[in-house]
Each structure stands twice: as structure tokens, then as C-alpha cells.
Structure 1
Amino acid sequence: MSPVPRSTPFWMRAWFVTTSLIVLWDAAYCLLRPHSMEGGKYFVFFSPYKLYGTVDKLYGPEAIEDNNGFTGAQAFMNLIEISLGLLFVRMVGNKNYTQGQANLVGFSASILTLAKTILYWLMEVFSAMEHTKHNDWMTWIFLWVIPNGIWLVVPSIISLNLGRDLFQRLEHGKTE
């Protein structure tokens, strides 16, 4: 078995930092609705959501009118996800934490992202595509599947990498 890695790849740290900014913006849009929507006092910061709200009705005015709480609930979960991801980045390379401790936090953050995203996709599937079926195929693929699919692919890769590392650390009895 290969030795336990002692560092975190740059791409992984970059993912957590970059997506934390994107997901924070998304959470802010969701939690500030209707003020973040067109006509709202914060719309200037969230104008791309005017288009996305037509692609995914969970982000549009229909969800507000229907009192659909899923978008707000997942936005709240986003805040936990962001906190864990940024904590991971802070822990990596900090002498007060072992690599194993950091990797456990990073693994937890990526599993949370993955589980939340799978729930988001499954909710759409089990609701007969209630929020996206109105789109043509090109719009659905390029503005819903691909952007949301990234949050399935990359966290899966991170979870597998950090999970493998955690297993190796447990097998070798290493905590650093």
C-alpha cells in the first residue's frame, strides 16, 4: 500500500475556496429573496439569477408564490458546507492540525455537498421534473445539468481521494 500523503493538492484547496464564494453568492440570493430578485433592492448583485430563475423554477418567483421552502433550506445547508470547506482550507498546512484532521473536515464538507446535490437532483426526478421540464433540451443541458453536475463530479472525486487517505491513515495507525 502506498504511503499516506502529507499534503493536499492545490486543485482541491482551490475548489473549496472558489466554490465557497460561488455557493455563498447562491445562498445569499436564496435567503434574501424576494429582495434579491428582479425589482428587489439587492437585485443588482444577483442579476444572473433572472435567467436562472426561468430555467429552474425553484429559483424563480413561482417558488416564492408557492411558499416552497426547499430553496431556503438548501441555502442554509450551503452555509454549513461553506464553513466546513473553508475550515478545511484553513486547517491544511496549519501546524495546529494534523493532515488527517484536516482531511476528515474536507471529506465531511465534500460528502455534505454531494449529499445535498444528490437530494436536489432526486427531488427534481421524483417530482417529474416539476421545476425544469419546461426547458428545451439545450437549455436544460447547458444551464441546469452541466452547472449542477459539477457539484456531483468534483465533490465525488474529492470524497474518494480524502476517503482513501482516511482509510490509509486508519490502516497505518497514523494521525498526522
Structure 2
Amino acid sequence: MAAKTHWFISLWFAISIPIIFWDAGYCFMRPRSMEGGDLHWIWKPYALYQKVDHIYGVKALEEGDGFTNAQSLLNIVENFMNIAYLYLAHVKGTPAASLLGFASAIMTLSKTALYFLQEHYCGYCSIGHNTVHDLIFLWIIPNGFWLLLPTIIIWQFAKDITSALHVAERVSKKEASGKKL
């Protein structure tokens, strides 16, 4: 049985792979990637973002806050899972791709939920200084995509995996009843 693929899932993984590597690069290369750093030209949009989300900024770096790099390391693991999904689904055509994609999407959703919850439980310590407009358009909406799309992907993979399990169960029962005769 070949892997069941969905264009929107493959597109999300393909688009998110370079974004995740770029973001992780910024985090791991701080302070060189930050505004004023010699490599900042690669990450120019972060000049604004490090002011919107202080976990990406100077204060967190100076305080030795490890959350950003810990999340980035998990992002790299997730990214290799996304790459493996695309390979297994579109090159190898194995149904195991769905399970890997499902796991990767759960990882994305979980890490993003943790990111939002960490802000809530610290009293919006890294984003609370923003105006409502900036918070909505520069933090909630962009980060919200990493909640919404993985949720949709998880739902689709869960349907696909459940369907495949039902087929396998029917085949197994049919084979078992054939052996009894």
C-alpha cells in the first residue's frame, strides 16, 4: 500500500523547512545574528522581531535564558522529521510516512503550545510590552499559523492512519476466518 499524500501537508512541510532552519540559525548564532552583529544581514527581519518578542532579544541572551535555543534544537529534530516525511511519502511511497508526519505535526503543535503557554505563565514577560496591534499582527497571527496548520495536519493524518488500521483489521479478520475453514 502506497503512502497517502495530501498536497497541503506536503506544501506546509516544504515551506516550513527553510523557515525553521532560518529561525534556528538566528537563535544559535546569537549575538552575531542579532541587530549589530556581523551576520545580521542574513536575519534582517529579526531586528524587529527581537523587539517584539524579547525571548529572541538581547535581554534573554544576556540572562542566559535557554528556552529559545532548546526550542530551536527541537525545531531541528522536527525539521529532519519533515524532510524524512517528504522523502518517505514522495520518493519511497511508504505508508510509514503518515506516522512520521503525524509525529512531526504533534511535535510542532506541542512546542508552539508550550511557547504560548510559557508567555501566559510568566505574565507575558517577553511580549507584554507590545501594543495590541503589534501583538496581534507581529506575534499572535504569525505564531498562530504554527498552531492552526499542524492541528489540521494532525486531524488529516489521524483520519488516514485510522482508516488504514480499519482496513488492516478487516484483512486480518478475513485471513483469520479463512484459516479456520
TM-score, normalized by length of structure 2? 0.89
Matched, 1:110 2:105: yes
- The CA deviation string for residues 48-76 of structure 1, in whole angstroms up to 9 with x for no partner, is 10100010000110111111000000000
> Are the counterparts in 2 of residues 111 and 159 from structure 1 also a CA contact under 8 Å?
yes
Q: Verify the 8 A CA contact 2:4 2:98 in the aligned structure 1.
A: no
Aligned partners of 1:94, 1:173: CA distance in 2, in Å?
Answer: 23
C-alpha distance in 2 between matches for 1:23 and 1:115: 15
**Could you say which residue in structure 2 is the equivalent of 1:129?**
124
More helix by share: 2
Q: Runs ≥4 in structure 1, deviation > 4 angstroms?
A: none
Shift in Å, 1:84: 0.3
Superposition pairs for residues 75-90 of structure 1, below 5 Å?
75-90=72-87
Q: Any gaps of 5 or more consecutive residues in structure 1?
A: none
Q: For residue 63 of structure 1, what is the amino acid of its counterpart?
A: A
In 2, the alpha carbon distance for the partners of 1:94 and 1:73 equals: 31
What RMSD in Å do the two structures reach over aligned CA positions? 1.7
Task: Within 5 Å, give how 1:22-37 maps onto structure 2.
Answer: 22-37=19-34
Paired AA for residue 46 in structure 2: Y
Choose from 14, 18, 37 the match for 1:17. 14
Q: Please identify the structure whose Cα radius of gyration is greater.
A: 2
Q: What's 1:54 paired with?
A: 51
Structure 2 unmatched runs, 5+ = 170-181
CA displacement 1:18-43 (0-9 Å, x = unmatched):
00111110000001101101121211
Residues 92-120 of structure 1 deviation map (CA, whole Å, 9 limit, x = unaligned): 1334x522x01001001100000000000
The residue that corresponds to 1:45 in the other structure is 42
Partner of 2:138: 143
Partners of 2:91 and 2:2 in 1: how far apart?
16
Determine the C-alpha separation between the residues in 1 that align with 2:123 and 2:2: 44
Q: Tell whether the 8 Å contact from 2:3 to 2:89 is kept in structure 1 after alignment.
A: no
Alpha carbons 1:5, 1:165 under 8 Å: kept: no
Which residue identity is paired with 1:48? P
Counting aligned pairs with the same residue, the percent is 38
C-alpha change, 1:159 and 1:71, in structure 2 (3 Å) is same
Q: How do 1:91-102 residues align onto structure 2 when only pairs under 5 Å count?
A: 91-95=88-92, 97-99=93-95, 101-102=96-97
Equivalent pairs, count? 170
Once the two structures are TM-superposed, the CA of residue 5 in structure 1 deviates from its matched residue by 9.0
1:159 matched residue in structure 2: 154
1:64 aligned partner: 61
